Structure 1
């Protein structure tokens, strides 16, 4: 390939890229005031390259005029630098903020160009590899000097911006400096013939890279869409270089294989045909990809707006049940088929098309069931939707954890306040109660008995209040369960109530003996209070094992608890029992949770009333000296 033709191809490629980039910057950078000036720089680069092509094509007047318009390139870049550096919280020096400098410089630039045109600032000569090439003469040297000074001024402004800015803006400025150094190295070959050096301007062949590096270095940190564009551009450029290398190899092998006609085809033509074929493939890739997607996944077209709608709707859910309902409705509306979604704590609603989301040791996973007979398009939408649903599950899980932590914090704060109030009340109430007890000593026996009974009730109420509101200090040890139960039961006034104890000998609990007695006394007292007046009243205490834990049941055949009271059983100051404080079951729950266990009311065990106590039996998880609040 002739050197002049190679030069033309380079200038044509640079000019085409510059025009495309100028249009793209004007379209994509409308919200950033510095981008139009950079688009002007790219447009002038296109005209400058077009001037060199015109000279090679024997249009000297047009070509010289375009090349002598060279100062507009650094002028636009200077304009861009001023706006780019000043666009932010960091102000420019006062001399750049007056607003009159740029119009003056544009006027001077226009004057220099006009003088260069009128004064014959350039001419065309033959040079190495060219029958016609531009050189400066006369006032044209002033044109060149002014161009260089504008470029220096623009980079001085960028240096000032580098000093006052940080982050992405500073990175952009560094990229511009690196690209400017590369551009200066390439541009030096342009003036070889003007200096009397009969050298071919090889560096100018790489001029397209300067424009791409400069613009990409600027906008990659400012306009994110350019990064996706650059990713595709680098991919296709790599493919182009690979095809060119392959064509060179094929051209060298054709003669050895006896294909003389094909081997006689110039390598430049093979490269040109290959490049055109690759460019045609790049242009057809997107529509062909969409066509293939429609053929393979009919009815499965997804776009960004639909995915954003799905994501927004799913993230509004405040509970697992709501998330499952929203997810099922969204996908059912999209596919026009019934789709059910199962999530943790949302219940099993598997019917027809089903999506199951669960969490295991490796994280959140989904499973599609019933989708084997649907079309690939529906299957694709189900897979994409399930992936979005997993993301919403992670977000909801974190949200619920934060809400639970905040609730526990408020509960703990409430207990601290209640504990301080209870201690003060106990102190203030026990003093007058002691005075009443002493004064009652001289009253008749019957009256004294009633007073003593009410004093015990008041003292029990104070003790319960202190137990509920104070911190629980556990002294845990191995304690035999059956002897403990026998001791507690022997102290009760059964009054004809039958009690069955179904606890094996040798069974031990790792727990606080005093606190466990509190739990069992509260439960047996409640049971006796409700079934003492029943015919054939019975209480049964039994144990079971559950995966290493111990379940202790306290049953009675007294009247069943009303369903509307189930949710409030363990809340403080809620009582069905006459004379009760309403704190017994609340204290039981606090003690059990302090041990790492739990208590619940059961109605499915064959007794009207059953309470289940779960004791965790992992001593390593509990120290022998624990001061633990239930709400931690």
Structure 2
């Protein structure tokens, strides 16, 4: 193969690559102006390389005119550089002005090209092994100088973008600079004959790589599929280089080991035959791989489309039952057999089923794992499908779990915000109710005695409800102090209207509790009043309050022998606001008690196993952490 033929093939390959790359860019980036400009650069480079092919075929005038259009190449690249660097949210005023001037750059380039044609700025000569090669005449100095100037301006824009940007865009610009250095090295030999240097343009034989590397440097951080293609292409190129080295070794040693017939075959023919075999292998690799996969795993028809469908539909699940239903439907349709999915989760106990084929998915520590049940007699293809699906389903379980956790946290935040707003509204309403209650009280002063007493009774009830609402909706600022527990409870019992109810105290005189005395007094008042309201009409009504220290905690139990609490009210519902069976009660007493106990870092619960029909147990920590001012705030 002569050098001129190699050069012609290289130019033809560059031209074909330019057209293919331009078509691919226009197809993948129809709405991106920067990549459209890059496609224009690829087309112009394809035309420019084809001009050399035309020149070699004897059409010298046409070839020279095509090559003289080279100012359009850097103009398209300048257009691309401006759009690429100025894309995104942050716009640069200087680049905006350059972008507005792009039509003038194109107009100037066309003018330079027309002037070069009119002034015969190019010619063709024979040099070394080539049949014809392009050279610039004296009139072509402006063409060459303008082309270089536009190229410098385009790379200056890229340099500015490298300084201003970060991340993937900065990496792309850096890669383009490296490819630009490679392109400059290849194109340098193009102008040697124009300066009287009689040297064959060997670097231009590698010109097809420049365009491919440039496009790859631009889009590798934008279009991920390009990286997969580049990975395969680099693999095949490496294999071709290995074959070239092996053929060179064979050509040297074959004659010495007695393989004279092989030694007589030209090296380029051996390399060409090997390259042909490699190309054929590349073409049949995918079909052959699918055929072998079907032979090894019969019945398995997994591909990228199936996996994308599985992933998309599993992500649509909003809860665990829906995820199970979607998973069973997808896998059953794929293998044409009924499959059950058993999901082991805290919120969803496993339902044992008698299906022949099942997948059990469970959460172990921090990860989700799966086990295939009943697949021993399944075909290898079906088992492979099940394993792939189960792995994807396990991943979907983790995604759904995190999604539900985030949704629950958001609901809790909204509920807390709603409670804060409701508390503020309740406090405002309670304050506003005080005024009309006072007016009613004063207006009833001249009413008959019986009527006035009835009004005063209802006013006291309303005032108690308002007070409870203010306590429940307001903030709790605790003034913590060592409080004598027995003395506090005794004073409350002395002042209470017991109506014949017997009260027993089993509290040591020396026992003290770190608590807010006023809030603690409110706790016992509410509990005692609540118990007395049920005991006052009972014979032998009895109330017992005992306290003891247990496991470094103060445990207080308030017992009474009144009627047992309805099972429907036991548990958390008992301490919810406005939940009561007490006649005339506000439903806030136990809710306020729990709020005060919680503010002290303690807890309250109802018990029916302490030997009394009703027992409320309060547990306080013996030590409370104080703030710098000696006050513990809720």
**TM-score bin, normalised by smaller chain:** 0.7 to 0.9
* Aligned position for 1:32: 32
Supply the RMSD in Å over aligned alpha carbons.
5.4
1:302–1:381 Cα contact (<8 Å) kept:
no
Query: Per-residue deviation at 1:219?
Result: 3.4
What is the Cα deviation at residue 213 of structure 1? 3.0
Which structure 1 segments of 5+ residues have no match?
318-322
2:523 aligns with: 519
Which residue does the alignment assign to 1:331? 327
Gap change, CA 1:604 and 1:302, over 3 Å in 2: farther
CA contact (8 A) 1:121 1:137 kept: yes
Q: Contact (CA 8 Å) 2:492, 2:521: kept in 1 or not?
A: yes
Secondary structure of 1:61's counterpart equals coil
**Aligned counterparts of 1:492 and 1:83: Cα–Cα separation in 2:** 89
Instruction: Encode CA deviations 1:426-468: one digit per residue, 9 max, x unaligned.
Output: 69968997x899x89xx99x99998987676566445423321
Matched-pair contact (CA < 8 Å) for 1:41–1:73: no
> 1:222 and 1:335, CA in 2 relative to 1: closer, same or farther beyond 3 A?
closer
TM-score when scaled to structure 2?
Answer: 0.73
How has the CA–CA distance of structure 1 residues 229 and 539 changed in structure 2, closer, same or farther, with 3 Å as cutoff? farther
Secondary structure of 2:131's aligned partner: strand
TM-score normalised by length of structure 1: 0.73
1:586 equivalent to 2:594? Answer no
Any stretches of 5+ residues in structure 2 without a counterpart?
333-338
Aligned 8 A contact 1:60 1:124 in 2: no
Q: 1:107 to 1:534 in 2, by over 3 A?
A: farther
What corresponds to 2:124 in structure 1? 123
Looking at structure 2, the residues matched to 505 and 371 of structure 1 have their Cα atoms a distance apart, in angstroms, of: 67
The alignment partner of 2:369 has SS state of strand
2:74 pairs with 1:69 = no
| Whole-angstrom distance in 2 between the partners of 1:107 and 1:504 | 108
d(CA) in 2 for partners of 1:266, 1:527: 111
Corresponding residue to 1:153 among 146, 150, 155: 150
Matched pairs, number: 603
Q: Name the CA shift for 1:376/1:599 in 2 (closer, same or farther; >3 Å).
A: farther
* In the alignment, structure 1 residue 368 sits paired with structure 2 residue 379: no
Aligned residue in 2 for 1:306: 309
Provide the rounded CA distance (Å) in 2 between the counterparts of 1:33 and 1:181.
25
C-alpha distance in 1, partners of 2:240/2:610? 77
Distance 2:216 2:205 in 1: 19
Q: Tell me: CA distance 1:500–1:244, structure 2 relative to 1, closer, same or farther (3 Å).
A: farther
**Which among 466, 476, 479 is matched to residue 472 of structure 1?**
476
- Separation in 2 of the partners of 1:279 and 1:505? 99
Question: Distance in 2 between the 1:238 and 1:145 partners?
Answer: 42
Distance in structure 2 (CA, Å) of the matches to 1:221 and 1:597: 57
Q: Residue 132 of structure 1: SS of its match in structure 2?
A: coil
Who is 2:131 aligned against?
132
Bigger shift: 424-433 or 593-602?
A: 424-433
Contact 1:569-1:585 at 8 Å conserved across structures: yes
For residues 496-542 of structure 1, the C-alpha deviation after alignment (integer angstroms, 9 at most, x for no partner) is: 87999999999997755654554354345334433554688787889
Post-superposition shift, 1:587?
0.8
Distance of 2:556 and 2:260 partners within structure 1:
97
Q: Distance in 2 between matches of 1:539 and 1:67?
A: 114
Q: d(CA) in 2 for partners of 1:464 and 1:288?
A: 81
Shift of 1:335: 2.1
**1:601/1:610 contact within 8 Å kept:** yes
Partner of 2:189: 189
